[in-house]
Every structure is written in C-alpha cells, then in structure tokens.
Amino acid sequence: MNDSARRSTATRRGIALAALITGVILLPIAAAPAAAQAQPAGRGIQANSDHPVLPIGSPLPDFSLPGVDGKTHKASEYAGSKVLAIVFESNHCPVSQLYEGRIEKLYADYRSKGVTLVAINPNNAKAVRLDELGYTDVTDSLPEMKLRARLRGIDWPYLYDGDNQEVSSKFGAVATPHIFVFDDQRKLRYQGRIDDNQREDMAKSQDARNAIDALLAGRPVPVAETKAFGCTTKWLSKGSGVEQEWARIQNEPVTVDMVNAGDLKTLRANPTDKVTVAYFWSTGCAACTGQLFDLETTYRMYRKRAFNLVTISTNPPADAAAVMALLKKEYASSPNQQFATADRAGLQAAWGESWNLNAPLTMVIAPGGKVLYRKEGKIDVLEMRRIVLANMPDTGYVGSQAYWVRALQDAKSRR
Amino acid sequence: MVAALRRGAGACGAALGIRHQMMYPLPVLPLIVVRARIALAAALLAAACGSPATGGPEAGFKAPDFSLPGTDSRTHTLRDYAGSQVLAVVFTGNSCPASQLYEARLRKIYDDYRNKGVAVVAINPNPPGAIRFADLAHSDVGETLDDMKTRGSDRHLEYPYLSDGGSQALARQFKVTTVPHIFVFDQSRTLQYDGRIDDSLQADAVKTRDARNAIDALLAGRSVPEARTPAAGCPVKGLAAPIRPEEGREPLSAGPVTVEMADAAALTKLRRNGTGKLLLVNFWATWCAPCAAEFPELEATYQMYKARGLEFTTVSVNDPEERGAVLDFLKAHRASHRNLQFATSDVYGLQAAFDPNLPSPVPFTLLIDPNGDVLYQELGELTVTKLRRAILASLPEDPGHPGLRAYWSTTD
C-alpha cells in the first residue's frame, strides 16, 4: 500500500469512527437513523432500494385482496379497529410455519381488544420452485392457501398478493414472517419481527405485542423497528428459475432396475435412513399412471431431505419397454424398479402385502421398516405428504417436524 | 525438453497447455503423436508468451465453409457473408483476458467498417468441456454458447459471435492455437492477413494497427503491407487435451471441511475483514432452498478466483443444535474454505454483531474489500454472473493484463 492509499484508508477509518461516536450519542434518541450513519455513505450494507420497507409513520397502504374465505378484503373494512396488524406469512417457508402458532395466539388474544390481524402471502406459486417445497405439503397459490387454512384451522384473514405483489411491494415485506402494526390513525408504528427468536420457548422480547400493548394504552411504541428473520420474499421481478428447474428435471436420466424377491424384502425392511415411499403400479392401470405425476412431484420437493421414492412396476419383464416409456413420459427420475420375473403373485408375497395388482398400492415406510401409511387405490397425495413431513427428521430445521406432527393431530381432532 | 517447457510455462504464467500435455501417459502413445503433441504444446507456449506463432494456414489459404451456431440463436455459414468485399474472422473467447482487452477494439473495427463492405465474424474455438475452474480466473462465465450469449448481451456485442467449441473443426482448419487471432480475407476469400489485431495489449500503447492496415489496403485495392504477424493471448483450450463431456463439471478439491462456531466477537471481526484480501461472505441456512440452490455457484466462484486472492467465508444462521446438518451440507458441497455457524440461538443478536444493517432473511451475500467497504450485496438468491463481475472489478489488477479492472467495472 502506498502512502496516499494509507492516508485515504486512515481518513476513511477516521470518518467511520466519528460516525460511530455520533451514532452512539444519538442512539437513545433515534436508534434507526444512527445505525444508518454508522457506515460511511455508499460503502456499508445498503437498504433494499427495489422494495424499500415502509417508513415508520407512513399511512396504511391501500389494498384489496382475495382471502382464503373466498371474499375480497379491503383495507377500509378494518376501519373500526383500534390497531391493525398486517403480517406477511407464507405456506412454504419453514420459519413462517414455526410462527403460525404465535400468529394464531396474537389474533386470538387481541381480537376482543379492538385489534385486527390480517395475514398476507406475498409469494406467487409460479415463482416458487419445487426444490423450495422441502418443508411443505402445498405451495403458495391461493387454492393451496385455502388448503393450509383448513388444515391448520386458520381463522384470521389470510390474503393472497402473489398475482402482482403490489401490496407487498408497498410494504417492502422483506421476508415471511414480517409484521407491520398501524395505530388508530392507520399510521405505521412498528415493523419487523414478531418476537426475537424463531423458537417460541427461547423468545425473550415480544416486540409485536409490546408495540400493540403500547398503542392500546396510548403510550409510544418502545421499539419501532426491528429486523425480520425468515425466508426472503419471492419477488417475481427477481426471476425464480422455475422454468430452468423444469428443464433440468426433463434432462434427468430415467432408469429402471429389475428386482427379485430379495430386493423387495430389503426395500420393505428399509435399512436406509430415509422415509421411503414405495409405489406399486402397472402400465395397464389408468389409476396407477395418473398418480405417478403427483408422486414424482413429491420426490422433487423432498429429495434433498431424508426422503426417497421408489416406484415398482408389477409388469412382467416382457413389458420393460412400455414401463420405461411411461416413466420417461413422467420424467420419473426417482429410483424405479420392475418385477424381474413373471411370477407376480410370488413377488407380491415377498413384499408381504396382498392387494389387487391392477390397482396402485402406496406405502410410506420409516427407516427400519415401520409402515406409516398404506393405501390401495387412489391416494390423497397431500395426506401422504403430511405423514412424510411429520416423520422426516428435522435435523436441518429443528421444530419443523413438531409443526407437522401437530398439524396432523389438529386435523384429526377437527374431523 | 519437458523441464524446459515447465520453466517456460512458469515464466509466462500460462502453464495450461503444458499441464494438459502432462496428463497424458506418454509411453503408451505412439512416438509420432508424442512429437506432435510436444510441438503443439511448444506452439501454445510460444503463443502465450507473445513470440511468433508457428504453423498457421498456408499461403493462398481459402476461407473454409462453416456452419456454426451464433449468440443470436441462428446458424451462420460462410455464404451468409458472400456480399462483403472483405471478411475478417476473429478467433476469440470469453475467458481469455487478452480477448477481453481487445473486445472494445474489435467492436470499433466492426463499427468503423460495417458500412464499407467489411464483415467481422467472431468465433470461439474453446470447447466448454475442457475448461477448468483455473481457466476462469478472469471471467464471469465459461465458454458454452449460453455463456457466450451472456457475454454478448452484457457487453452489447453486435458482431456475430459463433461457437466452434463443439468440434473445433474450424479452429483446426485455420490451425489457430491462440486467441485473439484475426484472419482477413479478400473478395475471393483468399487469406491476405493473419495474426494480431495490433501490436499492443494496451490500447493506449498501440503503434501499428495491423488488422486495420490490412483491411484498408484490401478496400483500396492495394496489397497488404504485412501478411503475417504473431498473435499473442491465450492458448486455445482442448487442443492438447481430450475434450471432456460438457456435462461433467470439474470436481471440487477434496480438502478438509470444517465449521467453526462463531460468537458475536468473531462476527464483528469478520465484518471488518482483516484478511487483507477481497472477502466474499454468504449467510445461509440448511432449511433455506434458495441458499442450497446458489451454493454450488458460490463454490465454483471461489474455485475460479481463489488463486487471485479471493477469500470466501460462509456463515450458517442455523441453530447450534443443527450443526450436524450444517456440516453434512458443507461436506456434500466440498466447502473446503472457512465456514462459520452461529454459536448461539440468538440470531438477531449475532446478526447485529456482524453489522446492524445486515438484512435478517437468508440468503444474503456480500463482498467486502480489505478496508471493510461493501462492494456488492444481494438479498435472496443471487445472480452469480453479477457477483462475479463485481469480484473481477475488485480483485487486484493482474500485472500481465492492466486494464481488466476497468473492463469489468464498465459492465452493464
């Protein structure tokens, strides 16, 4: 480094130091602007200029969006509420899922106190790739939001903004979840996280509740702005790679292994560490082939986790070409098998189940062989996915498995 | 001979052709092939060092017919240019720094002569499958046709840019071993000039504009002042080595993969960047699909530029309890650079310790210079070429190719 470079570095450090000191002095008065000054202009981390977060004090952006209740909801219909909380949440994001219970409590605890909570999904299913659906049964379309709402008993308004993301853009929603709290004049008084830890039992600071409580009590909000951790909003403008993903899937090799009784017994015992879906089908069975697509989609969603799908054609070996043709038509890049002999009954017995070979059989098998799901004929693929989700270990995101276990229990108790 | 080549390669910093040569089990090859390969390697080396190219087409060489895909998604043939009085064929490529430095001059030739009956056609002879990470130390993209399209659109290239990387058949007919290398044909499509575009890699130090002189002479019906000059630049890839199948990506190095648990102090220190180098930092999580999707691109980026001084540190925002899954992921991606993971469950506190302005969601990627200044940032899944251009604009200037930082700073 030469002398002038050294000097300029020193000057920059001096400015940074001065800014830092100023920032520290200003901190108690205005935390957010001080933090911004701590970085030399243009050289620190910049705020998102494409979708800036709504500044504190801004009026409520107008909206008119379809909800999971089949109705259109407008900003004006909540005029009677003392406080309006808008929370951005989504179906696919595991962080958003972990906050779902807290959103529910927030809604329930404050609804009788003049607080309305409205959830908005900023994502568009067309911009969410299959490989982003590793922790969910459904993606982020409005019909699938309805399915999620029914499953989880979501009774707060859950609106869809994915079509053009206009409302989400006005708010500058950075993530799901991200909450915005407006006062009775519908001025923004708080935005950021719901609380300070994604794990509910570790949360210490109830930032959204603190803001709402302050507004209800006519006090100033203690902390007006915090960060919001979670999954980045899937902005349509950013490009999603959905088409590229589909092109890649179409190029994946499709192979079939011929299997004998021993292979089937091993598969049935599932010595792997993966929750495995075994799908028995044959080319002559229309109901069978119709389900292949949903199962392959499931494979594309979960394959990066402890999951496997094995399709087993019960066709005799002579049908190998037809089996391959059908699998290729579905781009079935999952492990595929076919009965190695024409002794279909014998191989069926080796698997240890009896079913009509002209109908599909779907089984979900836990590592070690425990049967988690068994269905002859048409399956409800979402039900099957939820069972898989509730049984896959969540070593990569602790809490996700419990969410799905509870979802299954709640759904059962509501039935 | 081999030792001499090695020394020479080291001195010129262009050991690539030689390395491929060395990969051959020499004794099993017929002697004549060995001789040819050593000669070729020597030619590549000579070209890389700027001494006269050996070989090249014979006098009276006629432009061979071709049928090659272009960045405009059309197939181009020699006949497409039959209406032009003069045809200039330039072998060039994406990854070669000399090609990059000559790009503006090539564009100027195209612009200046397009209305004077001169056609300029750029042809990339590099086979995408022969490109190694180390070959991309000066490039944001590789040498596939898609890569060429990216370069063409980023740099607003208007001249035809065709790929011969599939078979290298045209490159072999032209006996071209170096890029950039220009061939100027007269109206009868007989070769009248071949060699360098001009006599200096540095545009402001040029004294003789050989290619323009040749074109001007042909347009004026005069004979070309100098018919052949040496072409200096980068060796054409793949000529001395077997062409790999395009889908096979070079395996990443198998170094040890570790993850350090990072507390607030470690993160504060990371933000200040005490490495003295350009530092790439990626915040990610195992549950974050966009993070997983972009990770291989970041890994490749590091492999491309690490020899030029790029540092890469990943920071997992996963809970400490998820350390096993974090390590499994990093191992699967052969992430043999510095990897950190949040040491406590206090995500917000640790993020603020890194930088109070750090966006909280993942993925988030930033490039920090040795002073701690942020040169690039991206929230959400990144566009890797954009990141790479920022890196190329910020890496120390390559002493052999001054002007590259400026080249990469002027993209977009």
pLDDT, tens digit, 9 for 90 and up, residues A134-178: 999 999 999 999 999 999 999 999 999 999 999 999 999 999 999
pLDDT, tens digit, 9 for 90 and up, residues B197-217: 999 999 999 999 999 999 999
> What pLDDT sits at residue A414?
77
> What pLDDT sits at residue B136?
95
Q: List CB contacts (< 8 A) between A132 and chain B.
A: 289-290
**Is the pLDDT confidence value at B270 over 90?**
yes
Average pLDDT, chain B: 86
Are the beta carbons of B352 and B271 closer than 8 angstroms?
no
pLDDT band at B55 (very low <50, low <70, confident <90, very high): low
Q: What is the mean pLDDT of residues B219-227?
A: 96
Lowest mean pLDDT among A27-36, B6-15, B81-90, B149-158: B6-15
Task: Classify strands B118-124 and B86-91 as parallel, antiparallel or unpaired.
Answer: parallel
Q: What is the mean pLDDT of residues B325-329?
A: 97
pLDDT band at B59 (very low <50, low <70, confident <90, very high): confident
**ipTM of the shown complex:** 0.88
Helix (H) or strand (E) holding B404: helix B404-409
Q: List CB contacts (< 8 A) between A229 and chain B.
A: 317, 347-348, 351, 360-361
Residues of chain B that touch chain A, judged by Cβ-Cβ distance less than 8 Å: 285-290, 292-293, 317-319, 321-322, 324-326, 329, 345-348, 351-352, 355-363, 366, 371-374, 377, 379-381, 383
List of chain A residues with pLDDT < 50: 1-42
B326 Cα to chain A: minimum distance (Å):
7
A148 Cα to chain B: minimum distance (Å):
20
**Is the pLDDT confidence value at B240 over 90?**
no
Residue A405, chain B, CB below 8 Å: the answer is no
pLDDT band at B56 (very low <50, low <70, confident <90, very high): confident
- Determine whether the interchain pair B374/A238 forms a contact, defined as Cβ–Cβ distance below 8 Å: no
Taking CA–CA distances from B359, the nearest residue in chain A reads A227
- Determine whether the interchain pair B358/A197 forms a contact, defined as Cβ–Cβ distance below 8 Å: no
> What pLDDT sits at residue B41?
41
Query: Interior CA angle at A221 toward A219 and A226, to 5°?
Result: 175
pLDDT band at B331 (very low <50, low <70, confident <90, very high): very high
Q: Which residue has the tokens 């994001």?
A: A93
**Is the pLDDT confidence value at B53 over 50?**
no
Burial of A44 (0-12, 13-18, 19+ CB in 10 A): buried
Cα A125 from chain centroid? 11
**Is the pLDDT confidence value at B5 over 80?**
no
- Please tell me the distance from the alpha carbon of residue B57 to that of residue B41, in angstroms, as a whole number: 18
Are the beta carbons of A159 and A119 closer than 8 angstroms?
yes
| Residue in A46, A131, A229 nearest the CB of B348 | A229
Q: List CB contacts (< 8 A) between B356 and chain A.
A: 35, 38
**Is the pLDDT confidence value at B114 over 90?**
yes
> What pLDDT sits at residue B241?
59
DSSP string, A157-213: -EEE-TTT-HHHHHHT--EESEEEEE-TT-BEEEEE-SSS-SSGGG----HHHHHHH
- Please tell me the distance from the alpha carbon of residue A305 to that of residue A94, in angstroms, as a whole number: 14
Mutate to test the interface with A, among B342, B375, B379, B383 (most CBs of A within 10 A): B379
- Determine whether the interchain pair A400/B371 forms a contact, defined as Cβ–Cβ distance below 8 Å: no
- Please tell me the distance from the alpha carbon of residue A165 to that of residue A121, in angstroms, as a whole number: 9
pLDDT, tens digit, 9 for 90 and up, residues B91-100: 999 999 999 9
Query: First vs last Cα of chain A: how many Å apart?
Result: 72
Task: For the sheet with B161-163, list strands across it.
Answer: B161-163, B118-124, B86-91, B181-185, B191-195
Identify which has the larger pLDDT, B2 or B391: B391
> What pLDDT sits at residue B221?
96
B253 Cα to chain A: minimum distance (Å):
22
> What pLDDT sits at residue B1?
34
Query: Interior CA angle at A337 toward A333 and A340, to 5°?
Result: 150
Query: Interior CA angle at A25 toward A24 and A30, to 5°?
Result: 85
Taking CA–CA distances from A41, the nearest residue in chain B reads B373
- Please tell me the distance from the alpha carbon of residue B333 to that of residue B320, in angstroms, as a whole number: 20
Contacts of B154 (CB under 8 A, 6+ apart): B140, B385, B389, B411, B412
SS3 category, B280? strand
Are the beta carbons of A359 and A376 closer than 8 angstroms?
yes
Query: Interior CA angle at B54 toward B49 and B55, to 5°?
Result: 145
- Determine whether the interchain pair B355/A228 forms a contact, defined as Cβ–Cβ distance below 8 Å: no
